[in-house]
Structure 1
Amino acid sequence: MINESDLEIMRDKKDVEGLINVLKTSNDYKIQENVIYLLGDVCDSQAVEPLLKFLRHGKWSIRKASALSLGRIGDERAVEPLINLLRDDYWHVREIAALSLGMIGDERAVDPIIKTLEDGCINVRCEIVDALANLGNKKAVEPLTKILKEDDYILRACTAISLGKLGDDRAVQSLVSALADENFFVRVNAANALGMIGDESAIPYLEEALTLSKGESEGFEKALKDAIVRIKSRKK
């Protein structure tokens, strides 16, 4: 009977066909799950079609593993099946589907991912926010700025950084408002995001926040100073 060491040897040898054969013939779902992750390590497009079939597996852990490995491989054939997985019953699966769509970076995923911003699970929503940043489509800016007003500080903090990565000036005012957020991490991320965007109009607000924050937190003050320097350096 094949064991974990055998599978790792196959992985190290990049024996994709051998791993796929084990995946197809084994009835042990633990072995199947291990093989799926190992195929993600190898990152060979030969594994795409077999992995796509396991997105419909009855066990959520298998679907999750398949979604992650498909994201790591980065083949566009996985985009539509992963979009469908955004509606999976298990949040762990939806979370990884969003992550993988962000990794693949196909524009077809933008609208479906935006629609899933209302997912009830905070883990999924944070991953969706990050995926939208990785996809880089400016269509996400408006829905993301609305999230900066929501109750969960983790989600607000994730969103601030994603807006920074998108680099769109339309997010500046929302991020400026977030400099006064009640949560430290949101404030720091808002400052960092403004530095990433680089819009000069943010400088007075960053300077004001720096004046008001004296002695409050070295971390926040550093983020504000770094953002100001970063923006000014872009003007030269």
Structure 2
Amino acid sequence: MEMQTILIVDDEKEIRDLVDIYLKGEGYKTIKACDGEEALEIIENENVDLVILDVMMPRLNGIDTCLKIRENRDMPIIMLSAKTEDIDKILGLNMGADDYLTKPFNPLELVARVRSQLRRFYRFSSKVLKEEINENIIQIDDLTINLDTHEIILSDNMVKLTPTEFDILALLAKNRGKVFSIENIYESVWNQELMTSDNTVMVHIRKIREKLEENPRKPRFIKTVWGVGYKIEK
């Protein structure tokens, strides 16, 4: 397994060095920062698995740093503070911290909490990954089609399709690369034969494109195969 990286953020050099020694002794890679601003720069440029974050620091304190991290990161955060009041612990946890340890602390207890948080985090991440592999979730570039919940997500935004529009999109998505004629689509979705000169399918395709495409005239998803029908490419 690749060595996990712990970011130690504290304005007291003695504490940074002490925690560094114990974590390295347990086989972790460490990076040290003396305040929140330096920590945020490191997180932007390094792969950090867990952050140990002091509350009282100059320039950018631990609470504000925690909030900044949580804007786009979900790694575990353990906060350190000399404050022992319950309200301070609650504040830290409410701001996005996963655990809280008051100073002075036993370094061995901190190491145990680091190990526990990493184990919990990666066990949860593994579970999420397995759920994402669900065969009933179809991913096409930035488009996600959930066949179980009938949800459509495009670039992290929910798209509302009518049940019929969803069924057409799902039919094409489940059979990527296969061209469906208008007759094929109609008979598969409506479960009846297509009446001559019925343009129902074309109207629904146009509506789907209007909801999914930046430029419906140049669609990324549902392609027209002229003289044959429609498909979603592989």
Please give the range of the TM-score, normalised by the shorter of the 2 chains: 0.3 to 0.5
Q: Which protein has the bigger strand share?
A: 2
Higher relative contact order (CA 8 A, sep 6+): 2
> Which structure has the larger Rg over C-alpha atoms?
2
Q: Which protein has the bigger helix share?
A: 1
